[in-house]
Amino acid sequence: MTQQSSHASTPSGTTSLVQQVGSLIRSARLGRSLTQAELAEQVGTSQSAINRIEHGSQNIGVDLLGRISDALGRDLITLGDRPRHTHLRVHGGHQLHGSIDVKTSKNGAVALLCASLINRGTTRLHRVARIVEVDRIIDVLRSLGASVVWSEDGNDVEIHVPADLDLTHIDADAGRRTRSIIMFLGPLLGDHDEFRLPYAGGCDLGERSVQPHLIALQHFGLAITAEAGWYHATVDPDVPENVSIVLTERGDTVTENAIMAAAVHEGVTVIRNASPNYMVQDLCFYLELLGVRIEGIGTTTLRITGRSVIDEDVDYWPSEDPIEGMSLLTAGIVTGSEITVRRVPIEFMEIELATLHEMGLRYDVSPEYEAHNGRTRLVDVTVHPSRLHAPIDKIHSMPFPGLNIDNLPFFTAIAACATGHTLIHDWVYEGRAIHLTDLTRLGADVRLRDPHRLDVTGPTHWSGAEVSCPPALRPAVVILIAMLAAKGESVLRDVDIIARGYEQLQERLVSLGADIETFHD
């Protein structure tokens, strides 16, 4: 291990390095079956310090980092204080067991962080997912002058936005690595006549136009020109009191952008063809706490009465993530296991479960109970080993309340376990389906019919292989889950993208009995 600085710490604009190091420590500790207290005793510090380090909320000196490396038998930092590329080694082919909770929504957290820009009071978000995508948005918020502070246990985040944002120093690097930066447009319309945002980035999923956002937000006076990697936004203040919008695309982020623009518009806005998906509902619940009146939550027509000045101290608990719920259920299904996934937001999983029932999956669902936000309905789902068969019709996604677009890739691995032929139609993305053909390396019969359709024939006799992680989040996780079913040893290389949308996924699968270890070249 080579050190070139006195601390493995970074300024607030580059917090992801500290958190990556903490994640490496946590992964290595769990790999050696050590508790935080046991590791703390070995290196001469406190359990609470180890907890803060693993959550990326405490600086770590070189001496302590060296002691932790020795205790874990692993070099954690390479030349230049940069973590090395992370790979996973999976010994699959055996069943999982036990129970696991679904964590809160990554997409919901990102939308709420963007929405915090409209509040001049203090926003406290509880049980927020500690993932790279969240870190990037927080880096951007801090670069604008907002105070963003994590709680000592790393679960909650407190945001305070100053009266005057410093838009000239926006963190362009963090902004370009997430498509979520586009959701800064709506909140910023209320206070700024002119500003710039970096081009949006994110997963490699093919062409995804921002035009629907611009069409929706032009009703609030927004005009955009593109120049040298930036969106240059100008805002015409002459906007009518009552605004009516018909979205040309029932997308989640475009709906959220329009909602946030309406929230700071002193008047009534009607949005038709709105997405009623889980992250949109989370955003609406939060805005209601800020005094924004919203009628029609959960439907495709919203009537919003906004406020030009919002200064409220609020606490909000984001709802659980249906995509993570589907990920964990898929791990149980493809390994032929009996596991219980707790805190599943059932409203956003009903079509998925109905489709699985049609394919022959045996599962039990508990009575419903409330999420911490008091609004989202949760259940516990127990899946049992089942003989699956291909569905009669194709499997395709639809805007909510249809099968979730982000849950569709998991059905490729499930269909590969089913007897018969399944057509998977991913009509939204031009480039995502091709990444799922990597399942053939593990023995699956997955054929690309065109950029949007896959033919899957099962059942599959999974076998271990080495695969490079695709540059798209959900296909990457699908391949990792398939490796759990593959007999022998598999290697998934360059898995950093998984941290964009999942917190400690490897460790949580290990808690269910998966045999996964992290290694670095």
pLDDT at position 44 is 73
Residue after which a domain boundary falls, among 291, 316, 341: 316
Residue owning tokens 């898995």: 495
DSSP for 453-520, please give it. Answer: EEEEEE----B--EEEPPSSHHHHHHHHHHHHHSBEEEEEE--GGGGGT-SSHHHHHHHTT-EEEEE-
Number of other residues whose CB lies within 10 A of the CB of residue 364: 12
Helices (H) and strands (E) in the chain, counts: 17, 24
Same structural domain for residues 482 and 507? yes
Encode pLDDT of 315-324 as tens digits: 999 999 999 9
Q: Taking the chain, what is the end-to-end CA distance rounded to the nearest angstrom?
A: 13
Same structural domain for residues 126 and 45? no
- Contact between 452 and 477 under an 8 Å Cβ cutoff? The reply is no
Enclosing domain of residue 189: 106-316
In a domain, 211, yes or no: yes
Look at the chain and report how many structural domains it folds into.
3
Same structural domain for residues 46 and 98? no
CATH code at position 284: 3.65.10.10
The three-state secondary structure class of 265 is coil
Cβ neighbours for 364, distance < 8 A, ≥ 6 positions apart:
381, 382, 384
Query: Is the pLDDT score of 78 beyond 60?
Result: no
Encode pLDDT of 298-357 as tens digits: 999 999 999 989 999 999 999 999 999 999 999 999 999 999 999 999 999 999 999 999
pLDDT at position 201 is 52
Residue after which a domain boundary falls, among 283, 316, 349: 316
Strands 338-345 and 515-519: unpaired
Query: Is the pLDDT score of 484 beyond 80?
Result: yes
Same structural domain for residues 257 and 365? no
Chain-centroid distance of CA 131 in Å reads 7
Strands 395-396 and 362-365: unpaired
Of 186-195, 408-417, 448-457, the least confident: 186-195
Same structural domain for residues 45 and 182? no
Same structural domain for residues 63 and 163? no
- Contact between 47 and 37 under an 8 Å Cβ cutoff? The reply is yes
Across the range 380-386, mean pLDDT stands at: 98
Rounded Cα distance, 297 and 274, in Å? 10
Same structural domain for residues 79 and 96? no
Same structural domain for residues 436 and 478? yes
- The percentage of the chain sitting over the pLDDT mark of 90, rounded to a whole number, equals 62
Residue after which a domain boundary falls, among 259, 289, 316: 316
- How does residue 32 score in pLDDT terms, banded at 50, 70 and 90? low
Rounded Cα distance, 57 and 54, in Å? 8
Q: Among candidates 226, 235, 317, 306, which has minimal Cα distance to 270?
A: 306
- How does residue 83 score in pLDDT terms, banded at 50, 70 and 90? low
Residues in the chain: 521
- Contact between 402 and 432 under an 8 Å Cβ cutoff? The reply is no
In a domain, 354, yes or no: yes
Q: What is the average pLDDT score of the chain?
A: 88
Same structural domain for residues 148 and 287? yes
In a domain, 10, yes or no: no
CATH code at position 28: 1.10.260.40
Across the range 18-33, mean pLDDT stands at: 73
Q: Among candidates 442, 441, 444, 401, which has minimal Cα distance to 424?
A: 444
In a domain, 261, yes or no: yes
Higher pLDDT, 386 or 232: 386
pLDDT at position 74 is 63
In a domain, 3, yes or no: no
Same structural domain for residues 334 and 266? no
Assigned token pair, 41? 């005793």
The three-state secondary structure class of 86 is coil
Across the range 443-451, mean pLDDT stands at: 94
- How does residue 6 score in pLDDT terms, banded at 50, 70 and 90? very low
Rounded Cα distance, 387 and 362, in Å? 9
Same structural domain for residues 97 and 139? no
In a domain, 9, yes or no: no
In a domain, 422, yes or no: yes
pLDDT at position 304 is 98
Same structural domain for residues 356 and 500? yes
Query: Is the pLDDT score of 15 beyond 50?
Result: no
Backbone phi, psi, residue 179, to 5°: -70, -15
Across the range 210-220, mean pLDDT stands at: 88
In a domain, 456, yes or no: yes
Encode pLDDT of 157-205 as tens digits: 999 999 888 888 888 888 887 778 889 999 998 788 888 888 765 444 3
pLDDT at position 40 is 79
